[in-house]
Amino acid sequence: MRVWHRLSALVVAATVAVGLAGCAAAAASGSESCVHADAPLAELRLADDPRTAEGGSTACLSSRGVAPIADDTVPELPVTVTDAEGRTVEVTDISRILPVDISGTIAATVFGLGLGDNVVGRDSSTVFEGTGELPVVTKSGHTLNAEAILELAPTVMLTDTTIGPKEVRQQLRDAGIAIIVVSSERRIDTADDLVAEIAAALGVPSRGDTLNARLTGELDAAVAEIDEIAPTSDADRPRMLFLYVRGNANIYYIFGRDSGADSLIDAVGGIDVASEIGWEGMKPMTAEALVAAQPDVLVMMTDGLASVGGIDGLLERIPAIAQTPAGEHRRVIDMADGEILSFGPRTPQIVRAIARALYAPQDAVPATPAATPQPTPQATS
């Protein structure tokens, strides 16, 4: 993946976080109504050709929550781990856990491990069921609020390099909080590594094994379902492109190879056309790249699509899209910001939701409408 690592490093981090700032409430409220009844994909009303289906659709999960595993193994503490930054950290108490990153994945993993009752706060991307009352400790999507964190008195904080600044993390260490920086890689094929890493840090490695077994089984089942309905020939596979936009901040990015979005597209049987044209990671969109990629389907975050005025506004703001099959057929799949790239315990659900919107758009929710224009958020360093 590597992209979420890049997000924390230079201007890209600030740029994306500016877009994410202030959208958590919208993501939470929007996803409340976006719940789709679970059903085998093969039993849905499948499109004759997913490449030429007309109109947009919203990918919805079958449940807004994160189901904990049926494993109540008692944590073995203290535990000493070497985190992703090479620091040796001792964890002696997990009664007050603070999981924070830019995608909400760490919190979802902690809840999946059955430790949700120990969580005392959240980042602005953590909006799944059961987290709404938790205090938010990020100021603008990517910036840690030291004062808010200290007030919560966490005994252990799990984070990664997508959120900072690092000076605040050090301030919290100096205050006596055990800070563990986990891997920033977010891809479908690294979700099990992250689960194991977090479970080990919390002294519950066997719970990690249990959660990973469930995750692997559910993901294998989802992929098997998709294989039954997806075209077998590359010539017939839908050509897909992940487009990240924040219209109120004039942010337009394409996610390509090693961005995490490419693994999602591959899992649903599509062709990641950004990777095909040599697009690495996440870079500002160009009209030339869109025309060269010729996607059949655009994949977007729900708030991003709403921020440009829905599909009509997207075509108006980015005329190059009209020169692609996706523009011709108005074919956009959107999914809630706090869900679509949150690779973790909900990965199988996310994959099935995208596949449903792709192959059975008649059974999916219509694409998100335009949002009320909001003031442009201000970047923070």
d(CA 244, CA 221): 29
> pLDDT digit string (tens) for 141-176?
679 999 999 999 999 999 999 888 999 999 999 999
| pTM of the predicted model as reported, rounded to 2 decimal places | 0.87
Give every CB contact of residue 370 below 8 A, 6+ residues apart in sequence.
306, 308, 309, 310, 312, 313
Angle between helices 205-229 and 191-201 (to 10 degrees): 160
pLDDT at 316: 96
Give CA angle at 193 (192, 196), nearest 5°.
Answer: 85
Q: Which residues face 91 on adjacent strands?
A: 79
The pLDDT of residue 9 is: 36
Whether 357 has a pLDDT exceeding 50, the answer reads yes
pLDDT in tens, 10-58: 334 434 444 444 444 344 444 555 766 678 888 889 999 999 999 999 9
Task: Report how far residue 160's alpha carbon sits from residue 166's, in angstroms, rounded to the nearest whole number.
Answer: 10
3-state secondary structure of 270: coil
- The answer on pLDDT for 308 being more than 90 is yes
DSSP state of 232: S
Q: Kindly report the average pLDDT of the chain as a whole number.
A: 88
pLDDT 10s digits, 99-114: 999 889 999 999 999 9
Instruction: Return the structure tokens found at 249.
Output: 């901040």
pLDDT at residue 240 greater than cutoff 80 = yes
CA–CA gap between residue 101 and residue 122 (Å, rounded): 9
Residue in this structure with the two tokens 């050709």, named with its chain if needed: 49
Residue 241 backbone dihedrals phi, psi, to 5 degrees: -140, 130
- What is residue 261's predicted lDDT score, i.e. its pLDDT? 95
- The pLDDT value given to residue 18: 42
Share of the chain above pLDDT 70, in %: 87
CA distance 225 to 230: 9
Pairing assessment for the beta strands 251-255 and 239-246 based on DSSP bridges: antiparallel
**pLDDT at 175 (0 to 100):** 97
Mean pLDDT, range 328-355, rounded to an integer: 94
pLDDT the model gives residue 326:
98
What pLDDT does 10 receive? 33
* Mean of pLDDT values over 167-195: 94
Residue 48's φ and ψ, nearest 5 degrees, are: -60, -40
Which residue segments constitute the domains of the chain, with CATH numbers given? 3-64+231-366 (3.40.50.1980), 79-213 (3.40.50.1980)
Residues facing 283 on adjacent strands: 254
Please answer whether residues 230 and 354 qualify as being in contact, where contact means their C-beta atoms are separated by less than 8 angstroms.
no
Question: Residue 71 — pLDDT band, cuts 50, 70, 90?
Answer: very high
